[in-house]
Amino acid sequence: MFLVELFVQGLIQGSVYALIAVGLTLVYGLLRILHVAHAGLFTLGGYAGVLVTNATGSVAVALVFAALSVGAVGMAVYRFCYEPILRRPPYVALIASIGLFIAMEELFRIVFGPFGLTYDIVPLQGSVVIGGMYLRSAELVTMALAAVLIGGLGLLAGRTRIGLAWRATVSVPEMAESFGIDIVKVRYLNFFIGSALAGVAGVMVSVLNNLVEPTMGSVASYKALAIIVLGGLGNVRGTLVAALTLGVIEAYGTIYLAGFLDRDAIAFAVLIVILMVRPQGLFGRSA
């Protein structure tokens, strides 16, 4: 029973990871940039969640607001930060992104204070019993949101014109351009969707913990970097599997590795072990 509970907790955490990591892997797939500042957008979502919920009393409004506003900020990040340096060697964008992320974290600290914000009334407080297991409503909503949003993304990518254009752009950019696909539009869409998902994840994490703090993005989102590597950089399905698997491994690891390794280091231990065996990631194609 205990093992099953751990498994479910792992899936919940894995859903959060998935929401964050999908945006990151999409950016990598499209631009070959390790978008570290994605973590800052996740934190921004957390702040949007707390502030809007406290102002309106509705976490649903907060979720929509966070998705739209963080999505818009994501597009701005692309326009003003990445677009001008796309032609430079890859480390340039990576280091710029790290700088941007650190600056964002500091801005949160300066604007909202170092100690973080909490909900006036914590939303989604109820709980349900499923198969003898207590699950908080917030946890169920997190999993449901992850399933619906990522499932919807899959439909969008697989069934719509813009989705096809998107996939074409990711796999063969030059070709896509010659077919008259507007690559720039696809990039904006990509940043909007990826950032919106991170924003939603930020809201849900702030609800789950009843806390949003400036450094909320650090660990979770570096972990997202590890996840997209495991998933084979740019591979969405691989990323999903890696996110859920890591959530579960961590859930067990926290119990069974506690004396040896910090929870947050498990992801990287797994990452390093796996990269040693498969340098292209779990689901990456070999070069």
Residues that bind other proteins (CB under 8 A): 28, 32, 34, 81, 84-85, 88-96, 98-107, 110, 218, 222, 225-226, 229, 233, 258-269, 271-272, 275-276, 279, 281
As measured in angstroms, the least distance from the Cβ of 275 to other proteins is 6
Name the minimum Å distance from CB 287 to other proteins.
9
CB atoms within 10 A of CB 158: 10
Q: Which is nearer to other proteins, 64 or 94 (CB)?
A: 94
**Given the complex with other proteins, which of 21 and 165 has the nearer CB atom?**
21
Nearer to other proteins, 110 or 184 (CB): 110
Helical H runs in 32-160?
38-56, 59-77, 90-112, 137-159
CB closer to other proteins out of 5 and 83:
83
State in angstroms the smallest separation of the CB of 103 from other proteins.
Answer: 3
**Beta carbon of residue 32, minimum distance to other proteins (angstroms, whole number):** 8
CA distance 48 to 50: 6
Nearest to 233 by CA among 198, 274, 280: 280
Closest CA to 200 of 87, 82, 90, 69: 69
CB atoms within 10 A of CB 272: 10
Number of H helices and E strands in the chain, helices first, is 11, 2
Positive/negative CA dihedral, 69, 180, 23, 43: negative
Smallest gap from residue 250 Cβ to other proteins (A): 12
Residue 239 beta carbon to other proteins: minimum distance, rounded to whole angstroms = 13
CA 38 vs CA 67, 106, 117, 118, 196: distances in Å: 14, 15, 21, 22, 10
Confirm if 96 and 88 have CB atoms less than 8 A apart. no
**CA separation, residue 5 to residues 16, 98, 247, 253 (Å):** 17, 36, 13, 14
Q: Which residues, 6 or more positions from 172, have their beta carbon under 8 angstroms from its beta carbon? A: none
Give whichever of 164 and 268 is closer to other proteins, judged by the CB atom. 268
Between the two ends of the chain, the Cα-to-Cα distance in Å is 43
- Cβ distance to other proteins smaller for residue 98 or 124: 98
Q: In this complex, which beta carbon is closest to other proteins, that of residue 100 or of residue 241?
A: 100
Nearer to other proteins, 132 or 259 (CB): 259
Of 76, 64, 271, nearest in space to 191 by CA: 76
- Shortest separation between residue 44's beta carbon and other proteins, angstroms: 15
Closest distance to other proteins from the beta carbon of 270 (Å): 9
